[in-house]
Amino acid sequence: MNAQYINPFLASSVHVIETMIQVKPSVGQVVLKPIQGSELLMLRIGIIGQIKGDVVFCFPQEVAMKIVSSMMGGYPISELDDMCMSAIAELGNMISGNASTMLSNEGIAVDITPPDIVQADSTLHKKQALTVPLVLNNIGEFDIYMIA
C-alpha cells in the first residue's frame, strides 16, 4: 500500500478521536512492520475500489476500554463486552468513512466494508503493514496498520 494513502486515515483519526473523546492524539512515525502483540482488540475494515486492502486498528484491551469509557462520558468500563466492541467498531467505522471521503475528494474512488472484530491470531497477524502508532494522553497507545 502506498504510504500517501495512510495520511487521510491519520488525519481522520486525529479529527474523530478529538471530537469523540476530547483528546488530541500524537501521531508516531510510519514504519513497515508486522501486526504483532497479544491481548489485542483488532478491528479490520476493508478498503475496496481504486485502492484495495485493509486498515486494521489494534487496541490493547485496557486502551480500548479507556477509549470507550471516554466516548461514553466517563462511564466505567471493566470488560470488553459486546457494547465495548460495538463502540470500538463504530469509532473505526467513523475514522474509515471520513478517510474514504478525503480520498474521494482527492479523486481516488474507494469504499469501505463493515467493521469486523478479528482475533489476534487471525491470518492478519504477522503480515507486513504500514504502521502508525497513535498516543492518547492519559489513555494509552494503539496502532493503525494498512495492508495492501
Beta bridge partners of 118: 42
Evaluate whether residue 124 is within a structural domain: yes
Provide the residue range defining the domain that includes 139.
3-16+27-147
Q: What distance in Å separates the CA atoms of residue 36 and residue 58, rounded to the nearest whole number?
A: 9
Q: How many domains does the chain have?
A: 1
At 78-96, the pLDDT tens digits run: 998 999 999 999 999 999 9
Beta bridge partners of 143: 58, 133
Q: What distance in Å separates the CA atoms of residue 11 and residue 32, rounded to the nearest whole number?
A: 19
The cell numbers describing 45, all together, are 475494515
CATH number for the domain that contains residue 63:
3.40.1550.10
Evaluate whether residue 22 is within a structural domain: no
At 44-71, the pLDDT tens digits run: 999 999 999 999 999 999 999 999 999 9
pTM: 0.91
Is residue 25 within 8 A of residue 19, CB to CB? The reply is no
Q: What distance in Å separates the CA atoms of residue 99 and residue 74, rounded to the nearest whole number?
A: 27
